[in-house]
A and B are shown apart, each in its own frame.
Chain A
Amino acid sequence: MKEKSIQFLFKYGAIALLAVIIIYFSTVSPSFLTYGNFSDILRSISIVTVLALGVTFTLVVNGFDLSVGSTMSLSTVVTASLMVWYDMPLWLVIILPILVGAAVGLFNTFLIVVIGIPDLLATLSSMYIIAGLHRTYTEGYSIYNHMPLTSGGTAIGELSDAFLWIGQGQLAGLPVPVWIMLLLILISYLILNHTRWGRVLYMTGGNEEAATLSGVKVKKVKCAAYVVSGIFASIAGILFTARVGSGQIDAGAPLLMEAVAAVFVGYSVLGAGKPNAVGTFFGAAVIGILLNGLTILNLPYYAFDIVKGSVLVLALAVTYVYAKNRMSSSGG
């Protein structure tokens, strides 16, 4: 009986929790269960979700990317500077930051695969390096339209309307960033769960040695995961720039831990027990909906982290209690 209830909790716990939260908030506040509010919630989680998807990929290969926050910050200022300082065309403004993100992924790969620093420590180091790099790049200033330059005069360009549409526009009743998020979730889900590449990523994460002996080039696989992570962080940065309309420095730093939490909450969705794309979205959604509801209830913002932490603990507890039970029942 106890085992069954744990199994049920593990499988449907996160979804049940989400349902309970939604029902509760809709009974206490009429403005909660409205189309507008849900579209708001989705928009508010879109950037974190994109960032978290990248982290999901690195966790799948049993790595960990702590540098995504900094990479997002770097991408934010690079995107803004390309338009404001250099007045570049839109396609370059989108391609270049993505390339920068990929380069960060390659740098992480170099530290982890070539030098052999453990993932967590390597990306911790690159997190600092990249954070410092992006502040140095802007000399510590945020970037906005026609900003005064340290070299004298004002910047030549501004963020174009076409670009701002990416972050602020609407398409078929939903904000554009939500569409982008949904598209990336779908792509990640298909790759991770239904393609050869996804299988190779998961198996490499499960047992590197066995994967090598099965003919997998583990180094390349890890490299791919970190490059994907860097690219997703860059996309999050581009979305952020377009949403805010300027290139804020340190934009990504506060989002790092939220993204990581979303991935781990996602472990417990539908009994996956491992990082997965849909779970990550659910994780971000649970946190997003909870915060939205609490805001409506006028909970002070400084208490929000308590809620976030508690959700994370709950999800992790379910995942690990289940894993422990499964281990002990298979032994003996």
Chain B
Amino acid sequence: MQTNHILEMAGIHKKFGRVNALTDASFTLKNGEVHALLGANGAGKSTLMKILSGLYKQDDGDLFIDGEKVSFNHPKDAKENGVYCVYQEVDTAIVPELSTAENIMLDTFASGKNIWVSKRKLEEKAKEVLFALQAGHINVRKQALELTLAEKQLVLIARALVHSAKLIIFDEPTAPLSVFEAERLFKVMNQLKDQGVGCIFITHRLPEVFEVCDTVTVMRDGKHVFFAKVEETNQEQLVEKMLGTSFENVIERREKKLGEQLIECTNLKEGRKLNGINFAVHKGEIIGVAGLVGAGKTELAKTIAGVTPASSGTIKIKGKKVTIYHPQAAIEQGVVLVPEERRKEGLFIHESLRKNATFPNLKKFSKASFIRKNEETNFALKMIGALQIKTNSTETTLNHLSGGNQQKVAIGKWMSVDASIYLFDEPTKGVDIGAKKDIFKLIADLANEGKGVIYFSSEIHELLAICDRILVMYDGQVVKEFSHEEATQEKILLYASGGKEEQNEREKHPVLI
């Protein structure tokens, strides 16, 4: 491995208003290394990377690329210096109506001098780059909107490679990917490494750091706090550095006290997404639902919650058969969903915490249809206290809160309806490790109060930590059920990807309920 520094950022300061986002932050990257950048939300990772990609201008401090001092005033400056970014929200960088080839070559023909664009040359070049990424299977004529998320990421990487990028920033690229897609991305990153491209990899998933990275930098409170080679550190240490304190077991095992049956689904079907789902949840139980992207987890959650009503099958709640045709019917039955896309589906991001908190059950807070603001405020304050939400007041609009605190509001708003069955769809997505702990505790508390919890997640280690039973979904069906004791990461992954332990495994241990 060569030792010359491709990037050096030193003494970077950045203020937003009165808030210090970065104070004396530094970061270095060598040629051909994959360097993890870790930190809780608000640690300053994104700000630092936005400075590097030319979106923000630092107040103070210097940037060196290949030992030469540079100054970026615009993303274009960064690109000219070989700095590219694969954003987390790939859709913001893709033009859906254009073809894959056009998307890959976008910068070229958007800023090129030629007014004529040769489609053939474009496609040839695009094919060449994709081929180099071992992504030759992507049809370059396909409209970008038909691509999967993982393919769109590849398009963005390809776009960077067209310009012989020196370094690529990967901003939480794996968050929306399935395990397999992530593996493929890691292969691509390794390949980039071999070509001498430096990669900065931002992630919330620690195991990935050890899988793909060479070195790791941890930031906290806008500063560089830790640097190590991956071989010389471990997950516990990294978590400690990120939080600033050591992190005891994320969650203590609860004492399991099972009550009566709350919900039972029999042969639930919905379109082509769910092919006969059977399971039951009892009071005080946390059921995990594992599965890769496309296995039908989100669909199952939405069907139970009434968003996409079941086409056949029965749902019994507390022993009574019910029809859930709309979320309102589900809420009446005490079934509530904390959806995956909380900003899009779970919350009213431009409204105040108070209005969000009371919305599911406005009747409770109004008299003769007139809303009583005092009662609303009292409830919001109660919720802020109970869930330890960090906010200035009940009137703060939610876009001013961190992801973790937003998620707490998305969960807490159901406190007003006295729900008995909580569905959580990827509740820790995009949530930093501190808030994750709070959310786990919250979910455990719900179960301890006698609620039934169904926890849908592709983060298998989280399921292992928190769930009493784990159902594994594959292709719209529950293919396996594990008790907490039996379950391991490997077993779950095996079933989630359509495998079986033994040929006659299922005859020996038929999947019960």
Chain A residues near B (Cβ < 8 Å): 190, 194-197, 199-200, 202-203, 206-207, 209-217, 329-330, 332
Instruction: Quote the shortest CB–CB distance from A271 to chain B (angstroms).
Output: 13
Q: List 12 A-B contacts (CB under 8 A).
A: A195-B369, A196-B362, A196-B369, A196-B371, A199-B355, A210-B345, A212-B307, A215-B331, A215-B332, A216-B328, A329-B17, A332-B50
Other-chain residue from A194, A202, A211, A214 in contact with B370 (beta carbon distance below 8 A)? A194
Other-chain residue from B16, B56, B346, B366 in contact with A329 (beta carbon distance below 8 A)? B16
> Which of A190, A200, A209, A213 has the largest number of chain B CB atoms within 10 A?
A213
B339 at the interface (CB under 8 A from A): yes
Chain A, residue nearest B365 (CB): A196
Tell me which residues across on chain A come within 8 A of B16, comparing CB atoms: 329, 332
List CB contacts (< 8 Å) of B404-457 with chain A.
413
B186 at the interface (CB under 8 A from A): no
B291 at the interface (CB under 8 A from A): no
- C-alpha gap A82/B58 in the complex (Å): 72
Q: Is the pair B369, A213 in contact by a Cβ cutoff of 8 Å?
A: no
Q: Is the pair B347, A210 in contact by a Cβ cutoff of 8 Å?
A: yes
Tell me which residues across on chain B come within 8 A of A196, comparing CB atoms: 362-363, 366, 369-371
Chain B residues near A (Cβ < 8 Å): 16-17, 21, 46-47, 50, 56, 305, 307, 326-328, 330-332, 337, 339, 344-351, 355, 359-360, 362-363, 366, 369-371, 397, 399-400, 413
- C-alpha gap A202/B366 in the complex (Å): 16
Q: Is the pair A207, B360 in contact by a Cβ cutoff of 8 Å?
A: no
- C-alpha gap A203/B328 in the complex (Å): 15
Tell me which residues across on chain A come within 8 A of B326, comparing CB atoms: 212, 215, 217
Tell me which residues across on chain A come within 8 A of B346, comparing CB atoms: 210, 213
Q: Is the pair B359, A195 in contact by a Cβ cutoff of 8 Å?
A: no
Instruction: Quote the shortest CB–CB distance from B60 to chain A (angstroms).
Output: 17
Give 10 A-B pairs besides A195-B371, A329-B16 with Cβ atoms closer than 8 angstroms. A190-B370, A203-B355, A209-B344, A211-B359, A212-B327, A213-B337, A216-B328, A217-B326, A217-B328, A330-B397
Q: Is the pair A330, B370 in contact by a Cβ cutoff of 8 Å?
A: no
Q: Is the pair B345, A200 in contact by a Cβ cutoff of 8 Å?
A: no
Q: Is the pair A332, B371 in contact by a Cβ cutoff of 8 Å?
A: no
- C-alpha gap A254/B16 in the complex (Å): 48
- C-alpha gap A210/B328 in the complex (Å): 12
With A215-B331, A329-B17, A330-B400 as contacts: A206 and B366 at CB distance below 8 Å: no
Tell me which residues across on chain B come within 8 A of A194, comparing CB atoms: 370-371
- Among all A-B residue pairs, the 3 with the closest Cβ atoms: A215-B328, A215-B331, A196-B362
- C-alpha gap A304/B453 in the complex (Å): 63
Instruction: Quote the shortest CB–CB distance from B268 to chain A (angstroms).
Output: 19
Chain B, residue nearest A191 (CB): B369
Q: Is the pair A197, B369 in contact by a Cβ cutoff of 8 Å?
A: yes
Chain B, residue nearest A331 (CB): B399
Other-chain residue from B21, B330, B331, B351 in contact with A206 (beta carbon distance below 8 A)? B351
Q: Is the pair A215, B327 in contact by a Cβ cutoff of 8 Å?
A: yes
Chain B, residue nearest A216 (CB): B328
- C-alpha gap A239/B259 in the complex (Å): 65
Instruction: Quote the shortest CB–CB distance from B216 to chain A (angstroms).
Output: 24
Tell me which residues across on chain B come within 8 A of A199, comparing CB atoms: 355, 359, 362, 371
Chain B, residue nearest A207 (CB): B348
Tell me which residues across on chain A come within 8 A of B46, comparing CB atoms: 332
Chain B, residue nearest A205 (CB): B348
- C-alpha gap A330/B402 in the complex (Å): 10
Q: Is the pair A203, B348 in contact by a Cβ cutoff of 8 Å?
A: yes
Chain A, residue nearest B16 (CB): A332
- C-alpha gap A190/B331 in the complex (Å): 28
- C-alpha gap A210/B341 in the complex (Å): 10
Instruction: Quote the shortest CB–CB distance from A320 to chain B (angstroms).
Output: 14
With A199-B371, A215-B327, A332-B21 as contacts: A207 and B307 at CB distance below 8 Å: no
Instruction: Quote the shortest CB–CB distance from B465 to chain A (angstroms).
Output: 27
Instruction: Quote the shortest CB–CB distance from B376 to chain A (angstroms).
Output: 10
Tell me which residues across on chain B come within 8 A of A207, comparing CB atoms: 344-345, 347-349
With A214-B359, A214-B360, A330-B400 as contacts: A206 and B348 at CB distance below 8 Å: yes
Tell me which residues across on chain A come within 8 A of B56, comparing CB atoms: 332
Chain B, residue nearest A328 (CB): B16
With A203-B348, A329-B17, A330-B400 as contacts: A215 and B360 at CB distance below 8 Å: yes
- C-alpha gap A169/B332 in the complex (Å): 51
- C-alpha gap A207/B349 in the complex (Å): 8
With A195-B369, A196-B371, A203-B355 as contacts: A210 and B348 at CB distance below 8 Å: yes
Q: Is the pair B399, A330 in contact by a Cβ cutoff of 8 Å?
A: yes
Instruction: Quote the shortest CB–CB distance from B118 to chain A (angstroms).
Output: 37
- C-alpha gap A259/B349 in the complex (Å): 29
- C-alpha gap A190/B328 in the complex (Å): 26
Tell me which residues across on chain A come within 8 A of B363, comparing CB atoms: 196
Chain A, residue nearest B342 (CB): A210
- C-alpha gap A135/B483 in the complex (Å): 73
Instruction: Quote the shortest CB–CB distance from B32 to chain A (angstroms).
Output: 31
Instruction: Quote the shortest CB–CB distance from B394 to chain A (angstroms).
Output: 15
Instruction: Quote the shortest CB–CB distance from A274 to chain B (angstroms).
Output: 9
Tell me which residues across on chain B come within 8 A of A190, comparing CB atoms: 370
Instruction: Quote the shortest CB–CB distance from B214 to chain A (angstroms).
Output: 29
Chain A, residue nearest B376 (CB): A199
- C-alpha gap A199/B326 in the complex (Å): 20
Instruction: Quote the shortest CB–CB distance from A61 to chain B (angstroms).
Output: 13
Q: Is the pair A332, B344 in contact by a Cβ cutoff of 8 Å?
A: no
Q: Is the pair A213, B339 in contact by a Cβ cutoff of 8 Å?
A: yes
Instruction: Quote the shortest CB–CB distance from A303 to chain B (angstroms).
Output: 38
- C-alpha gap A329/B345 in the complex (Å): 23
Other-chain residue from A197, A213, A330 in contact with B307 (beta carbon distance below 8 A)? A213
Instruction: Quote the shortest CB–CB distance from B171 to chain A (angstroms).
Output: 14
Tell me which residues across on chain A come within 8 A of B307, comparing CB atoms: 212-213
- C-alpha gap A210/B346 in the complex (Å): 5
- C-alpha gap A274/B490 in the complex (Å): 52
- C-alpha gap A209/B327 in the complex (Å): 11
Instruction: Quote the shortest CB–CB distance from B154 to chain A (angstroms).
Output: 27
Tell me which residues across on chain A come within 8 A of B50, comparing CB atoms: 332
Q: Is the pair A213, B355 in contact by a Cβ cutoff of 8 Å?
A: no
- C-alpha gap A215/B364 in the complex (Å): 14
- C-alpha gap A300/B499 in the complex (Å): 82
- C-alpha gap A216/B326 in the complex (Å): 9
Tell me which residues across on chain B come within 8 A of A203, comparing CB atoms: 348, 351, 355, 359
Instruction: Quote the shortest CB–CB distance from B356 to chain A (angstroms).
Output: 9
> Which of B17, B348, B349, B370 has the largest number of chain A CB atoms within 10 A?
B348
Chain A, residue nearest B339 (CB): A213
Instruction: Quote the shortest CB–CB distance from B175 to chain A (angstroms).
Output: 18
Chain B, residue nearest A219 (CB): B326
- C-alpha gap A190/B359 in the complex (Å): 18
Instruction: Quote the shortest CB–CB distance from B77 to chain A (angstroms).
Output: 20
Tell me which residues across on chain A come within 8 A of B344, comparing CB atoms: 207, 209-210
Instruction: Quote the shortest CB–CB distance from A194 to chain B (angstroms).
Output: 5
Instruction: Quote the shortest CB–CB distance from B461 to chain A (angstroms).
Output: 28
Instruction: Quote the shortest CB–CB distance from B144 to chain A (angstroms).
Output: 23
Tell me which residues across on chain A come within 8 A of B345, comparing CB atoms: 207, 209-210, 213
Tell me which residues across on chain B come within 8 A of A210, comparing CB atoms: 344-348
Tell me which residues across on chain B come within 8 A of A212, comparing CB atoms: 307, 326-327
Q: Is the pair A195, B366 in contact by a Cβ cutoff of 8 Å?
A: yes
Q: Is the pair B371, A206 in contact by a Cβ cutoff of 8 Å?
A: no
Instruction: Quote the shortest CB–CB distance from B341 to chain A (angstroms).
Output: 8
